[in-house]
Structure 1
Amino acid sequence: MQPFLRVINLSKTFGALPVIQQVSFEVQPGEVVGLTGSTGSGKSVLVMMLAGMYEPNEGEIFFANKRLSWPFTAQSMGIGVIHQRPTLTDHFDVVSNIFLGNEIGRPKWLGWLRKINRLRMHQEAILFLKQLGIQVNSLYEKVNNLSGEQRQLIAIARVLTYPVRMVIIDEPTISLSYPFQQRLLSLIQRWRQQGVAVLFSSNNLDHLFAVTDRIIILYQGRKVADLRTDETDREDVVNRLLGIKYSQKPAPTIWDFDSYDYIRENAEKLHYHQMLLEKDLAAEGTLNRQLTEQLAEQLQALDQANLALREAQRRLLSDGEQERKHLAREIHDQIIQDLLSINYELEGIEIEQTTSSALEINLSNIRHGIRELVDNLRRICGNLRPPTIDSLGLGAALQSYSHDWSLRTGIKVNLSLDGKLGRLPEATELSIFRIVQEGLNNVWRHAQASSVQISLQHTSPRTLMVSLRDDGTGLSKNYDLATLAMKGHYGLMGISERIALLGGRFHLQRLPEGGALLQVEIPHPRVNVNPVATR
C-alpha cells in the first residue's frame, strides 16, 4: 500500500537555531500515527510545515505520491489541520467560521459571483456541532464571545465540513474538558475506520496509547524512535522522551503507571467538573446581572417616587404656610378688631352708667377677659405666621419669638446669631423658624430645663448650622423617632421632615453633663437683600 504522507529528511532552522533535523517518516491511509516529544522537541514546527505554514530548509514532503512545493494550502490537498490554538476569525460568527474557505453555494467556478447558501450552512452546522456535543447560545454569535473550549470545538467542526484524506492534529486536547477529549478520540477512531490517515501530536500518553497504531518520538528536533503502539509501553516512551538510554534507565519501582493512570483519570474528571462549575458560575453571573438590573430599575422607580413625595410634601408645607398667613390675617384683621370694638363699647358703658358696684365688677371682668382673649389671639397669630419674618427677616423673628417664649415659660433663652446672617429664601427662613419653634416647644413640654441656648452660624458660605442646647433631663438612652411618633410625640418627626426637604442633616444627642443638643445643618443659596435693622 502506498503511504498517503511521506516525509524525507525534513529540516528547519530559525536563524542559526536548528529546530527540526533530518526527520523522515510515513503515514498509511487508515493509520493513526502519534507524534510526541518534550517541550522544544519541534512537534508544532513539524506540524506547521506539513500544514503548509512553514517552508522547510531541507527535505521533501509527498502527499499521495505528489511532491509538494511551497506555498500550498492543506485544505486544497484534502488535509484537515486542527491546531493547538484555534485559527478562527474573531469577528465572524460560528457558522461563518465553521465553513470558512468551504462555503456552501453555487459552483466554485462562478468565482465572486458565487452566492452563499446561508440556510443550508446553518442546517449543516447544527449537525456538525451535534456530532461533537457542542452547545452555543446562537450560531450567529461572534466567536470572540465564546470560551476557549468552544472555540477549539468549532475549529474541530470545521474539519468535518469537507472530505479529508488526512487529518493533522496538534495538541487540541489541552483546552478541552474530559468528555470532549473522549469525543475527539472517538472521532479519530472513526476517521481510521473511514480510511483517513491521522497524525496525532500529543503529550498525553493515555490518548496516544488509546488510539494510535504507531508513536513517533522527537527529541531536540530529531526523530529518536518510531514504535508500534502494541509493542511498546509507557516506560519506554517516557525514557525516549527524556533522552534516557537503556543503560541509564531508572529503577522500575518509580514507574508506578497504575497510580499514574489513576491520577491522570481523576485529574481529567476534576477538570471536567471544573468546567461544569464554571458554566454554573457563568449562568449564576447572568442571573445576578439580571437581578441587579431589575433592582436598579426598582431603585430608580423608588427614587422617582421619593422625589415626587418630597415635592408633594414641599407643596403641602408651602400651602400650609400660606394658609397660616391667611388665617393669621383674618384673625388679626377681623376677630381681634371686633373684640377690641366690643371692649371699647363696654368701656363706654362702664363710664356712662352709674349702676351698682356689682355691675361694674362684672363689666370689668368681661373687659379683662376680652383683653386676655385678644392677647392669646395675637400670640396665636404670631405662632401661625410671625409678623416680623416678612418685613425684618429670620433674625428679628427669632429674637421676638424667643423673648416672648421666655416670658411665657420662665425659661431663660440665650440667642446667638451670625452677624452676616442676611436674608435667606423665604422657604428656608420659614423652615428654620419652625424648627426653632418646635425645638423650644419640646424643651418646654419634656425637658424640664431652666435655660436654652440657640445659635445660628454659617459654617461655610452656603451652609447654615442651627443649634439648640438645653440643660434639662435629656433624652432616653434608646430614643427612636418612629417610637416617639407612635407615642404621639411628633415634634422631632416634623423637624426631621423639614430638614429632609431642605436637603440638610439632622443630629440629636444626649449630653454627658445633662440636657440635649439638636444640630441642623442646612445648605442654602444667599439672597442679595440687605437685612433691615432691628428696632
Structure 2
Amino acid sequence: MEILRANNLSRYFGTVPALVDVNLELQPGEVLGIVGQRGAGKSTLFNLLSGATIPSSGEIIYAGQRVILRNVLHAHRLGIVAVLQYPKFPPNLNVLRNIFLGHEIRRPGILTALPDEGAMAQRAREMLASFNQPPELLEEHVANLSDEQRQIIALARALCQPNTRLLLLDEALAALSFARQEAFLERIKSLAAQGVAIIMGSDDLKQIFAVTDRILVLYQGHPLALRRTAESTPREIVELVVGSNRQERITPMIWAFENYHAAQQQAEELRRDQLELRQNLRMQDSLNQQLIERLHNQVEALDRLNVALQEASRRLITEREAERKALARELHDQVIQDLLSYNYQLEEAENDLTEEEQRRYLIRIRQGIRQVVGSLREICSDLRPPTIDNHGLPAAIRSLTSQWAEQTGIPVELEIDPSLGRLPEPIELGVYRIIQEGLSNIRKHANATRVSLDLKRTSAANLSVRLIDNGRGLAQPLDLATLTTQKHFGLVGISERLSLIGGTLKLTSVPSGGLEMDFEIPSPYPTIGN
C-alpha cells in the first residue's frame, strides 16, 4: 500500500499561486526527487507535506487515511519528519536537548515521566560520530555552531525521531561538506532499504540521480513531468527545469553539473588541509603562530594583489583591443584611402606626360604606393582582423593560417568544428590572439615543417583548441620561468591570456618530435537557481 498520495494539492498566497494541482504518490522505501528553479514551488510543497503550511485546496492521503496536517507536531506524531535547508532551533538549549526536543527517551518503569539522559546522550553521541563530530558538541548551544553543524544537528534530530515513515529533505544536504554529503546519500539508500519513504529536493542533479527512483519536475508552481530516474538523463531533466531545449541554455548548465562535484571535492581537500594546518599551529609556540599568521596575511595580500593585477591586465587587454580597432579603422578609412587617391592622381598625371623617363619614374612611385598600401592593410589586419567582425572566428582563423602558411612556407592542416558558431567578442578575440601567438612561437622556435590546428567544442560545451607541430619540442617539465628564460614569450602571453578568461593550457612533447599545445576555454554558464 502506498504511504503517501497527494491529490490536486495547491497553495495560494492571496491571489498569487505558489503551487497548483500537484499529484503524486509514494511507496514505502521509494525515494522521490523534486527539482525546479527558484520559485518553482519546491519549498511550498515540502511545507504542505510537513504540516508547516495548510493547503488552499486538494487533499493528502497518508497510510490510506485522508489527513489534514494542522502543524509540524501533528505530522511528527504520524511519522512524517522534515529537514529544511535553514532549520530553526531554540537558541537557549544545548545540542542534546535540541536533538530530542519533543521526543525524549523516557526511563522505564515507574519513572517514565522522566527523560533518560544517559540513553539520549549515548544515542546522540553515536549519531554525531556518524557525521564525524566530537561528543563534546552535545553541550554546546546551537547559537555557537557553524551552518554545517546546525544542519548536522537538524539531520540528527530527524534520524532520532521514532517511527519515521516519511522523511522530507528540502535542500538538506547543501550546507554539508562534500564527504558528508556522500556519506548521507548512502544513509538515504539504507533508510529506503528499511522501508522509509523519502522525498528529496536538491539543485544537485548528481545527488538526485544517485539515490532517487523517480523525479518530479516543478515549473513555475505547476507539476511539469514525473519521470523514472533510470529512464531519464540529466540533459532531459535540465531541459524540463529550464523550460527550454535550446543548446545555448542547456549545455552550459550541463557543464556546470559535470564540474560541480570535482570542484567541491577539491574545495573539501583544501578545507581538510587548512584544518590540519590549524591543528599543527596549536602545538607550536606563540612566536611560530604569529609568524604563520603574518605569512597568512601576506598570502592574502598577494592574492588580492593578484586579483587586482588580473583585473588590470584584463582591462588593459580590452582597452588595447579597442585602440587597435580604432587605429586599424583610421589607417584603413583615412590613410589608405588618401594614398589610393594620390595614386589615382599620379595615374592621371602619368597619362598627361610625354617623356618616357618621367612616365617610368611615376610608375615606380605608384608601385611604391601600392606596396605601402599592401603593408598598411597587413598592419590593419594584424591590429584588428576584419573577418572576425564580419564573419566570426572560424573565417578569421582560416584567413590567419592561410597568410601564415604563405609567409613561412609551412603547411597548416586546419580542422574547425562546423557547429562552432559565433562566440562573445572577448572570447573570439582571445582565441584569435592565442592562436596568433602560438603560430608565432612555432615560427620563431620550433623549426617545424608541418603544423596542425583543431578547433572544436567538447561535450561540456567548452572550446577546445589543439595546435601541434613537428619541430624540436620543449624539455619537460615546463614552467613560466623556464619559458621566459628560453625567450618563449609567446607561450607566456598565451598562459596569461588563458588565465584571464578562465582557460587552461597543457603542453605535451610529441614522442616523434614536436610540441602539442592544448587549450580549453569554458563557456559562461548559469546555475539551476537562476
Question: TM-score, with normalisation over the residues of structure 1?
Answer: 0.50
**Are 2:255 and 1:269 aligned?**
no
- The aligned counterpart of 1:424 is none
- The aligned counterpart of 2:29 is 30
Q: Given the superposition, is the C-alpha separation of residues 227 and 281 from structure 1 closer, same or farther in structure 2, using an over 3 Å criterion?
A: same
- The aligned counterpart of 1:116 is 115
- Residues 397-424 of structure 1 deviation map (CA, whole Å, 9 limit, x = unaligned): xxxxxxxxxxxxxxxxxxxxxxxxxxxx
- The aligned counterpart of 2:216 is 216
| CA apart distance, 1:286 | 7.0
**Residue 213 of structure 2 aligns to which amino acid in structure 1?**
D
- Residues 349-405 of structure 1 deviation map (CA, whole Å, 9 limit, x = unaligned): xxxxxxxxxxxxxxxxxxxxxxxxxxxxxxxxxxxxxxxxxxxxxxxxxxxxxxxxx
- The aligned counterpart of 2:52 is 53
**Are 2:196 and 1:196 aligned?**
yes
Alpha-carbon distance in structure 1 between the residues aligned to 2:261 and 2:193: 26
Alpha-carbon distance in structure 2 between the residues aligned to 1:70 and 1:188: 25
Alpha-carbon distance in structure 1 between the residues aligned to 2:97 and 2:109: 17
| CA apart distance, 1:272 | 1.4
- The aligned counterpart of 2:236 is 236
For the 8 Å contact 1:177–1:275, the answer to whether it is kept is no
For the 8 Å contact 2:87–2:154, the answer to whether it is kept is yes
For the 8 Å contact 1:108–1:114, the answer to whether it is kept is no
Query: What SS class does the counterpart of residue 23 from structure 1 fall into?
Result: strand
Alpha-carbon distance in structure 1 between the residues aligned to 2:186 and 2:198: 13
- Residues 217-257 of structure 1 deviation map (CA, whole Å, 9 limit, x = unaligned): 0000000000000111011100100112xxx5437993795
- The aligned counterpart of 1:105 is 106
| CA apart distance, 1:106 | 3.6
Q: Given the superposition, is the C-alpha separation of residues 98 and 286 from structure 1 closer, same or farther in structure 2, using an over 3 Å criterion?
A: farther
Alpha-carbon distance in structure 2 between the residues aligned to 1:52 and 1:253: 35
For the 8 Å contact 2:204–2:257, the answer to whether it is kept is no
Highest RCO, 1 vs 2 (Cα 8 Å, sep ≥ 6): 2
| CA apart distance, 1:105 | 1.5
For the 8 Å contact 2:5–2:23, the answer to whether it is kept is yes
Q: Map 1:290-309 to 2 at 5 A.
A: 291=286
For the 8 Å contact 2:93–2:141, the answer to whether it is kept is yes
- The aligned counterpart of 1:10 is 9
Alpha-carbon distance in structure 2 between the residues aligned to 1:101 and 1:17: 35
- The aligned counterpart of 1:491 is none
**Residue 49 of structure 2 aligns to which amino acid in structure 1?**
L
Alpha-carbon distance in structure 2 between the residues aligned to 1:23 and 1:107: 44
Q: Given the superposition, is the C-alpha separation of residues 107 and 37 from structure 1 closer, same or farther in structure 2, using an over 3 Å criterion?
A: farther
**Are 2:78 and 1:77 aligned?**
yes
| CA apart distance, 1:287 | 7.5
Looking at CA atoms only, which structure, 1 or 2, has the larger radius of gyration?
1
**Residue 260 of structure 2 aligns to which amino acid in structure 1?**
R
- The aligned counterpart of 2:179 is 179
For the 8 Å contact 2:22–2:223, the answer to whether it is kept is yes
| CA apart distance, 1:261 | 5.3
**Residue 178 of structure 1 aligns to which amino acid in structure 2?**
F
- The aligned counterpart of 2:251 is 254
Alpha-carbon distance in structure 1 between the residues aligned to 2:36 and 2:222: 10
Alpha-carbon distance in structure 2 between the residues aligned to 1:87 and 1:263: 32
Alpha-carbon distance in structure 2 between the residues aligned to 1:251 and 1:40: 22
**Are 2:88 and 1:87 aligned?**
yes
- Residues 188-223 of structure 1 deviation map (CA, whole Å, 9 limit, x = unaligned): 100111011000111110000000000000000000
For the 8 Å contact 2:9–2:23, the answer to whether it is kept is yes
Q: Map 1:300-449 to 2 at 5 A.
A: none
- Residues 28-76 of structure 1 deviation map (CA, whole Å, 9 limit, x = unaligned): 1110000010011010011011100101100001110111124142211
CA-based RMSD: 2.8
Alpha-carbon distance in structure 1 between the residues aligned to 2:253 and 2:76: 43
For the 8 Å contact 2:42–2:218, the answer to whether it is kept is yes
For the 8 Å contact 1:37–1:241, the answer to whether it is kept is yes
Q: Given the superposition, is the C-alpha separation of residues 116 and 256 from structure 1 closer, same or farther in structure 2, using an over 3 Å criterion?
A: closer
- Residues 482-526 of structure 1 deviation map (CA, whole Å, 9 limit, x = unaligned): xxxxxxxxxxxxxxxxxxxxxxxxxxxxxxxxxxxxxxxxxxxxx
For the 8 Å contact 1:83–1:171, the answer to whether it is kept is yes
**Residue 58 of structure 1 aligns to which amino acid in structure 2?**
S
Query: What SS class does the counterpart of residue 173 from structure 2 fall into?
Result: helix
| CA apart distance, 1:107 | 6.8
For the 8 Å contact 1:36–1:218, the answer to whether it is kept is yes
**Residue 167 of structure 1 aligns to which amino acid in structure 2?**
L
- The aligned counterpart of 2:462 is none
| CA apart distance, 1:17 | 1.2
For the 8 Å contact 1:3–1:27, the answer to whether it is kept is yes
Q: Given the superposition, is the C-alpha separation of residues 85 and 256 from structure 1 closer, same or farther in structure 2, using an over 3 Å criterion?
A: closer
Query: What SS class does the counterpart of residue 174 from structure 1 fall into?
Result: coil
Q: Given the superposition, is the C-alpha separation of residues 78 and 109 from structure 1 closer, same or farther in structure 2, using an over 3 Å criterion?
A: farther
Query: What SS class does the counterpart of residue 122 from structure 1 fall into?
Result: helix
**Residue 153 of structure 2 aligns to which amino acid in structure 1?**
I
For the 8 Å contact 2:30–2:192, the answer to whether it is kept is yes
- The aligned counterpart of 1:146 is 145
| CA apart distance, 1:89 | 2.1
Alpha-carbon distance in structure 1 between the residues aligned to 2:12 and 2:108: 41
- Residues 141-195 of structure 1 deviation map (CA, whole Å, 9 limit, x = unaligned): 1121111111111111112212211111000121111001011101110011101
For the 8 Å contact 2:125–2:135, the answer to whether it is kept is no
**Residue 18 of structure 2 aligns to which amino acid in structure 1?**
V
**Are 2:129 and 1:130 aligned?**
yes
| CA apart distance, 1:135 | 2.9
**Residue 83 of structure 1 aligns to which amino acid in structure 2?**
L
Query: What SS class does the counterpart of residue 139 from structure 1 fall into?
Result: helix
**Residue 225 of structure 1 aligns to which amino acid in structure 2?**
A
Q: Given the superposition, is the C-alpha separation of residues 107 and 59 from structure 1 closer, same or farther in structure 2, using an over 3 Å criterion?
A: farther
Identify unmatched segments of 5+ residues in structure 2: 291-530
- Residues 440-459 of structure 1 deviation map (CA, whole Å, 9 limit, x = unaligned): xxxxxxxxxxxxxxxxxxxx
Alpha-carbon distance in structure 1 between the residues aligned to 2:137 and 2:23: 45
For the 8 Å contact 2:205–2:257, the answer to whether it is kept is no
Alpha-carbon distance in structure 2 between the residues aligned to 1:106 and 1:118: 9
| CA apart distance, 1:103 | 0.7
**Residue 250 of structure 1 aligns to which amino acid in structure 2?**
Q
